[in-house]
Structure 1
Protein backbone atom coordinates (compact mmCIF):
# COMPACT_ATOMS: atom_id res chain seq x y z
CA UNK A 1 0.00 0.00 0.00
CA UNK A 2 2.77 2.46 0.92
CA UNK A 3 4.77 1.52 -2.19
CA UNK A 4 1.68 2.06 -4.35
CA UNK A 5 1.12 5.53 -2.84
CA UNK A 6 4.78 6.39 -3.27
CA UNK A 7 4.65 5.35 -6.94
CA UNK A 8 1.52 7.43 -7.53
CA UNK A 9 3.00 10.46 -5.84
CA UNK A 10 6.22 10.11 -7.84
CA UNK A 11 4.23 9.85 -11.06
CA UNK A 12 2.23 13.00 -10.23
CA UNK A 13 5.35 14.96 -9.27
CA UNK A 14 7.00 13.96 -12.54
CA UNK A 15 3.97 15.21 -14.47
CA UNK A 16 4.03 18.47 -12.52
CA UNK A 17 7.76 18.90 -13.22
CA UNK A 18 7.18 18.27 -16.92
CA UNK A 19 4.03 20.40 -17.38
CA UNK A 20 4.25 22.90 -14.51
CA UNK A 21 1.25 25.05 -13.57
CA UNK A 22 -0.67 23.92 -16.68
CA UNK A 23 -0.92 20.43 -15.16
CA UNK A 24 -2.58 21.80 -12.01
CA UNK A 25 -4.97 23.95 -14.03
CA UNK A 26 -6.22 20.87 -15.89
CA UNK A 27 -7.17 18.97 -12.70
CA UNK A 28 -10.88 18.73 -12.04
CA UNK A 29 -11.85 17.23 -8.67
CA UNK A 30 -15.18 15.54 -8.00
CA UNK A 31 -16.74 14.49 -4.72
CA UNK A 32 -20.09 13.68 -3.16
CA UNK A 33 -21.50 14.44 0.24
CA UNK A 34 -24.69 14.72 2.24
CA UNK A 35 -25.81 18.30 2.88
CA UNK A 36 -28.73 19.76 4.80
CA UNK A 37 -31.36 21.65 2.86
CA UNK A 38 -33.02 24.36 4.89
CA UNK A 39 -35.13 27.34 3.78
CA UNK A 40 -35.13 29.82 6.70
CA UNK A 41 -37.89 32.10 5.41
CA UNK A 42 -40.20 32.49 2.48
CA UNK A 43 -39.62 35.04 -0.29
CA UNK A 44 -42.34 37.41 0.99
CA UNK A 45 -40.74 37.51 4.44
CA UNK A 46 -37.30 38.25 3.10
CA UNK A 47 -38.62 41.08 0.90
CA UNK A 48 -40.47 42.82 3.76
CA UNK A 49 -39.30 46.43 4.17
CA UNK A 50 -37.98 47.43 7.58
CA UNK A 51 -36.78 50.84 8.60
CA UNK A 52 -33.77 50.95 10.93
CA UNK A 53 -35.80 52.57 13.70
CA UNK A 54 -38.94 50.43 13.37
CA UNK A 55 -39.30 47.34 15.51
CA UNK A 56 -38.93 44.11 13.66
CA UNK A 57 -42.21 42.42 12.77
CA UNK A 58 -43.43 39.62 14.95
CA UNK A 59 -43.23 36.27 13.27
CA UNK A 60 -44.34 32.96 14.54
CA UNK A 61 -41.37 30.73 14.96
CA UNK A 62 -41.87 28.14 12.28
CA UNK A 63 -38.92 25.92 11.71
CA UNK A 64 -38.88 24.08 8.44
CA UNK A 65 -37.55 20.57 8.80
CA UNK A 66 -33.98 20.23 7.59
CA UNK A 67 -33.70 17.50 4.97
CA UNK A 68 -30.52 15.78 3.97
CA UNK A 69 -29.86 15.62 0.25
CA UNK A 70 -26.98 14.03 -1.63
CA UNK A 71 -24.83 16.54 -3.45
CA UNK A 72 -22.24 15.98 -6.19
CA UNK A 73 -19.79 18.73 -7.07
CA UNK A 74 -16.90 19.09 -9.52
CA UNK A 75 -14.43 21.94 -9.12
CA UNK A 76 -11.07 23.20 -10.35
CA UNK A 77 -8.59 25.90 -9.33
CA UNK A 78 -11.00 28.65 -10.34
CA UNK A 79 -14.10 27.37 -8.55
CA UNK A 80 -17.14 25.13 -9.00
CA UNK A 81 -17.59 23.83 -12.54
CA UNK A 82 -20.67 21.61 -12.12
CA UNK A 83 -22.97 20.51 -9.29
CA UNK A 84 -26.06 18.37 -8.94
CA UNK A 85 -28.42 17.26 -6.20
CA UNK A 86 -29.71 13.71 -6.13
CA UNK A 87 -33.50 13.37 -6.13
CA UNK A 88 -35.11 12.07 -2.96
CA UNK A 89 -35.07 8.28 -2.72
CA UNK A 90 -32.38 7.75 -5.37
CA UNK A 91 -28.97 6.22 -4.79
CA UNK A 92 -25.67 6.70 -6.57
CA UNK A 93 -24.86 3.80 -8.86
CA UNK A 94 -22.77 3.48 -12.01
CA UNK A 95 -25.58 4.57 -14.34
CA UNK A 96 -26.34 7.68 -12.34
CA UNK A 97 -22.66 8.58 -11.97
CA UNK A 98 -22.16 8.15 -15.73
CA UNK A 99 -25.09 10.51 -16.40
CA UNK A 100 -23.38 13.06 -14.14
CA UNK A 101 -20.13 12.61 -16.04
CA UNK A 102 -21.99 13.25 -19.31
CA UNK A 103 -23.53 16.41 -17.87
CA UNK A 104 -20.08 17.43 -16.65
CA UNK A 105 -18.60 16.89 -20.11
CA UNK A 106 -21.28 19.13 -21.66
CA UNK A 107 -20.58 21.78 -19.04
CA UNK A 108 -16.84 21.58 -19.70
CA UNK A 109 -17.41 22.41 -23.37
CA UNK A 110 -18.77 25.80 -22.27
CA UNK A 111 -16.48 26.50 -19.32
CA UNK A 112 -13.07 25.13 -20.37
CA UNK A 113 -12.95 25.27 -24.14
CA UNK A 114 -9.16 25.40 -24.41
CA UNK A 115 -8.25 22.93 -21.66
CA UNK A 116 -8.18 19.17 -21.56
CA UNK A 117 -9.43 18.11 -18.16
CA UNK A 118 -7.98 15.48 -15.87
CA UNK A 119 -10.60 14.10 -13.49
CA UNK A 120 -9.68 13.25 -9.94
CA UNK A 121 -12.22 11.32 -7.88
CA UNK A 122 -12.09 8.71 -5.16
CA UNK A 123 -12.36 4.95 -5.53
CA UNK A 124 -16.04 4.55 -4.65
CA UNK A 125 -17.67 1.61 -6.42
CA UNK A 126 -19.70 3.73 -8.89
CA UNK A 127 -16.45 5.51 -9.88
CA UNK A 128 -14.43 2.35 -10.50
CA UNK A 129 -16.98 0.04 -12.11
CA UNK A 130 -16.32 -1.33 -15.57
CA UNK A 131 -19.29 0.66 -16.95
CA UNK A 132 -17.87 3.90 -15.55
CA UNK A 133 -14.39 3.17 -16.86
CA UNK A 134 -15.83 2.50 -20.34
CA UNK A 135 -17.83 5.74 -20.16
CA UNK A 136 -14.73 7.70 -19.10
CA UNK A 137 -12.88 6.38 -22.16
CA UNK A 138 -15.85 7.17 -24.41
CA UNK A 139 -16.10 10.72 -22.98
CA UNK A 140 -12.32 11.08 -23.32
CA UNK A 141 -11.91 12.04 -19.66
CA UNK A 142 -8.50 11.20 -18.27
CA UNK A 143 -8.35 10.31 -14.57
CA UNK A 144 -5.60 10.73 -12.04
CA UNK A 145 -4.52 7.64 -10.14
CA UNK A 146 -5.92 7.44 -6.64
CA UNK A 147 -4.81 4.98 -3.96
CA UNK A 148 -7.21 2.43 -2.54
CA UNK A 149 -9.81 3.84 -0.17
CA UNK A 150 -8.38 5.26 3.00
CA UNK A 151 -10.42 7.34 5.48
CA UNK A 152 -7.55 9.79 5.99
CA UNK A 153 -7.10 10.61 2.27
CA UNK A 154 -9.73 12.59 0.37
CA UNK A 155 -9.39 13.35 -3.37
CA UNK A 156 -8.84 17.04 -2.67
CA UNK A 157 -5.90 16.31 -0.34
Structure 2
Protein backbone atom coordinates (compact mmCIF):
# COMPACT_ATOMS: atom_id res chain seq x y z
CA UNK A 1 0.00 0.00 0.00
CA UNK A 2 1.47 3.37 -0.96
CA UNK A 3 2.39 5.83 1.79
CA UNK A 4 -0.35 8.19 0.59
CA UNK A 5 -2.95 5.39 0.73
CA UNK A 6 -1.72 4.36 4.18
CA UNK A 7 -1.89 7.94 5.36
CA UNK A 8 -5.51 8.22 4.19
CA UNK A 9 -6.57 4.71 5.20
CA UNK A 10 -8.16 5.91 8.41
CA UNK A 11 -10.35 8.31 6.41
CA UNK A 12 -11.89 5.53 4.34
CA UNK A 13 -11.80 2.69 6.87
CA UNK A 14 -13.12 2.46 10.34
CA UNK A 15 -12.73 -0.16 12.99
CA UNK A 16 -14.25 -0.80 16.35
CA UNK A 17 -13.03 -3.24 18.92
CA UNK A 18 -15.20 -4.62 21.66
CA UNK A 19 -13.32 -5.88 24.69
CA UNK A 20 -13.47 -6.71 28.32
CA UNK A 21 -10.76 -7.16 30.94
CA UNK A 22 -9.71 -10.43 29.29
CA UNK A 23 -9.15 -9.03 25.82
CA UNK A 24 -10.81 -8.37 22.50
CA UNK A 25 -14.12 -10.10 21.94
CA UNK A 26 -14.80 -8.72 18.46
CA UNK A 27 -12.79 -6.60 16.03
CA UNK A 28 -15.11 -5.03 13.48
CA UNK A 29 -13.56 -3.46 10.40
CA UNK A 30 -15.99 -1.48 8.27
CA UNK A 31 -15.70 -2.25 4.53
CA UNK A 32 -14.44 0.63 2.43
CA UNK A 33 -17.16 2.93 1.21
CA UNK A 34 -19.64 1.95 3.91
CA UNK A 35 -20.71 4.24 6.70
CA UNK A 36 -21.95 3.46 10.16
CA UNK A 37 -25.68 3.82 10.55
CA UNK A 38 -28.09 2.34 13.06
CA UNK A 39 -28.77 -0.78 10.96
CA UNK A 40 -25.04 -1.46 10.52
CA UNK A 41 -24.43 -0.84 14.23
CA UNK A 42 -27.22 -3.24 15.23
CA UNK A 43 -25.72 -5.83 12.87
CA UNK A 44 -22.39 -5.39 14.64
CA UNK A 45 -24.13 -5.77 18.01
CA UNK A 46 -25.67 -9.03 16.75
CA UNK A 47 -22.17 -10.28 15.90
CA UNK A 48 -20.87 -9.03 19.25
CA UNK A 49 -23.62 -10.88 21.09
CA UNK A 50 -22.68 -14.11 19.27
CA UNK A 51 -18.96 -13.53 19.93
CA UNK A 52 -19.70 -13.04 23.65
CA UNK A 53 -21.75 -16.23 23.67
CA UNK A 54 -18.85 -18.15 22.11
CA UNK A 55 -15.85 -16.52 23.80
CA UNK A 56 -17.22 -15.60 27.24
CA UNK A 57 -19.81 -18.27 28.09
CA UNK A 58 -22.10 -17.11 30.86
CA UNK A 59 -21.42 -13.40 30.40
CA UNK A 60 -24.73 -12.82 28.64
CA UNK A 61 -26.58 -14.28 31.64
CA UNK A 62 -24.57 -12.14 34.08
CA UNK A 63 -25.39 -9.01 32.10
CA UNK A 64 -23.55 -6.90 29.58
CA UNK A 65 -22.61 -3.30 30.24
CA UNK A 66 -21.79 -1.52 26.99
CA UNK A 67 -19.91 1.73 26.76
CA UNK A 68 -20.41 3.74 23.63
CA UNK A 69 -20.63 7.45 22.97
CA UNK A 70 -23.63 9.47 21.84
CA UNK A 71 -23.00 9.14 18.10
CA UNK A 72 -26.18 9.07 16.02
CA UNK A 73 -26.05 5.30 15.27
CA UNK A 74 -25.68 4.60 19.00
CA UNK A 75 -28.60 6.78 20.07
CA UNK A 76 -30.95 5.93 17.17
CA UNK A 77 -34.33 4.39 17.99
CA UNK A 78 -33.41 1.16 16.18
CA UNK A 79 -30.30 0.76 18.34
CA UNK A 80 -32.13 1.66 21.54
CA UNK A 81 -34.79 -0.96 20.74
CA UNK A 82 -32.08 -3.59 20.10
CA UNK A 83 -30.38 -2.81 23.41
CA UNK A 84 -33.65 -2.88 25.34
CA UNK A 85 -34.67 -6.19 23.72
CA UNK A 86 -31.33 -7.76 24.69
CA UNK A 87 -31.34 -6.24 28.16
CA UNK A 88 -27.89 -4.70 27.85
CA UNK A 89 -27.05 -1.89 30.22
CA UNK A 90 -25.52 1.23 28.70
CA UNK A 91 -22.87 3.11 30.59
CA UNK A 92 -23.91 6.77 30.21
CA UNK A 93 -21.51 8.89 28.22
CA UNK A 94 -21.63 12.63 28.85
CA UNK A 95 -21.61 14.76 25.71
CA UNK A 96 -18.23 16.03 24.55
CA UNK A 97 -16.26 13.59 26.71
CA UNK A 98 -13.72 11.83 24.50
CA UNK A 99 -11.66 11.44 27.64
CA UNK A 100 -14.04 8.62 28.65
CA UNK A 101 -13.73 6.76 25.35
CA UNK A 102 -11.42 3.83 26.03
CA UNK A 103 -10.02 3.97 22.51
CA UNK A 104 -9.03 7.61 22.90
CA UNK A 105 -7.36 7.40 26.29
CA UNK A 106 -5.90 3.88 26.24
CA UNK A 107 -5.75 2.33 22.77
CA UNK A 108 -4.78 4.76 20.03
CA UNK A 109 -1.45 5.87 21.53
CA UNK A 110 0.01 2.36 21.82
CA UNK A 111 -1.46 1.37 18.45
CA UNK A 112 0.07 4.42 16.77
CA UNK A 113 3.47 3.64 18.32
CA UNK A 114 3.21 0.01 17.20
CA UNK A 115 2.31 0.83 13.60
CA UNK A 116 4.71 3.78 13.36
CA UNK A 117 7.18 3.36 10.52
CA UNK A 118 5.55 0.21 9.13
CA UNK A 119 4.66 -0.01 5.45
CA UNK A 120 2.06 -2.37 4.01
CA UNK A 121 1.74 -3.69 0.49
CA UNK A 122 -2.02 -4.07 0.67
CA UNK A 123 -4.92 -3.04 2.81
CA UNK A 124 -5.34 -6.69 3.79
CA UNK A 125 -1.76 -6.68 5.13
CA UNK A 126 -2.62 -3.72 7.34
CA UNK A 127 -5.81 -5.39 8.58
CA UNK A 128 -3.87 -8.57 9.29
CA UNK A 129 -1.32 -6.60 11.32
CA UNK A 130 -4.10 -4.91 13.29
CA UNK A 131 -5.62 -8.29 14.12
CA UNK A 132 -2.18 -9.63 15.05
CA UNK A 133 -1.53 -6.68 17.37
CA UNK A 134 -4.84 -7.11 19.18
CA UNK A 135 -4.38 -10.89 19.44
CA UNK A 136 -0.96 -10.50 21.03
CA UNK A 137 -1.77 -7.84 23.60
CA UNK A 138 -1.24 -8.97 27.16
CA UNK A 139 -4.37 -9.35 29.30
CA UNK A 140 -2.97 -6.71 31.66
CA UNK A 141 -3.25 -4.14 28.84
CA UNK A 142 -7.02 -4.59 28.88
CA UNK A 143 -7.32 -4.70 32.67
CA UNK A 144 -5.35 -1.47 33.07
CA UNK A 145 -7.53 0.29 30.50
CA UNK A 146 -10.80 -0.87 32.00
CA UNK A 147 -9.66 -0.15 35.55
CA UNK A 148 -8.54 3.34 34.58
CA UNK A 149 -12.03 3.99 33.24
CA UNK A 150 -13.35 3.74 36.79
CA UNK A 151 -11.15 6.59 38.03
CA UNK A 152 -11.88 8.65 34.91
CA UNK A 153 -15.62 8.22 35.51
CA UNK A 154 -15.21 9.29 39.13
CA UNK A 155 -13.34 12.41 38.04
CA UNK A 156 -16.09 13.14 35.52
CA UNK A 157 -18.75 12.79 38.24
CA UNK A 158 -16.72 14.96 40.62
CA UNK A 159 -16.43 17.61 37.88
CA UNK A 160 -20.19 17.44 37.17
CA UNK A 161 -19.64 15.73 33.79
CA UNK A 162 -17.00 18.24 32.70
CA UNK A 163 -13.93 17.33 30.62
CA UNK A 164 -11.39 15.03 32.31
CA UNK A 165 -7.84 15.43 31.04
CA UNK A 166 -5.92 12.78 33.01
TM-score, normalization: structure 1?
0.55
The residue matched to 2:33 in structure 1 has which SS?
coil
Counterpart-to-counterpart distance in 1, 2:85 and 2:32: 29
Match of residue 154 from structure 1: 100
Shift of 1:64: 8.6
Match of residue 21 from structure 2: 77
Match of residue 49 from structure 2: 105
Q: Which has the higher helix share?
A: 2
Q: Which has the higher strand share?
A: 1
The residue matched to 2:74 in structure 1 has which SS?
helix
Match of residue 143 from structure 1: 90
Alignment gaps of 5+ in structure 2 = 103-148, 150-166
Q: How many equivalent residue pairs?
A: 96
The residue matched to 1:81 in structure 2 has which SS?
strand
Query: Which is higher, the Rg of structure 1 or of structure 2?
Result: 1
Counterpart-to-counterpart distance in 2, 1:95 and 1:133: 11
Partners of 2:26 and 2:51 within 8 A in 1: yes
Partners of 1:117 and 1:141 within 8 A in 2: yes
Partners of 1:105 and 1:139 within 8 A in 2: no
Match of residue 128 from structure 1: 75
- Give the ranges of 4+ consecutive aligned residues of structure 1 lying more than 4 Å apart after TM superposition: none
The residue matched to 1:89 in structure 2 has which SS?
coil
User: Judging changes above 3 Å, is the alpha-carbon distance between structure 1 residues 64 and 108 closer, same or farther for their aligned structure 2 residues?
Assistant: same
TM-score, normalization: structure 2?
0.52
The residue matched to 1:100 in structure 2 has which SS?
helix
RMSD value over aligned CA atoms? 2.0
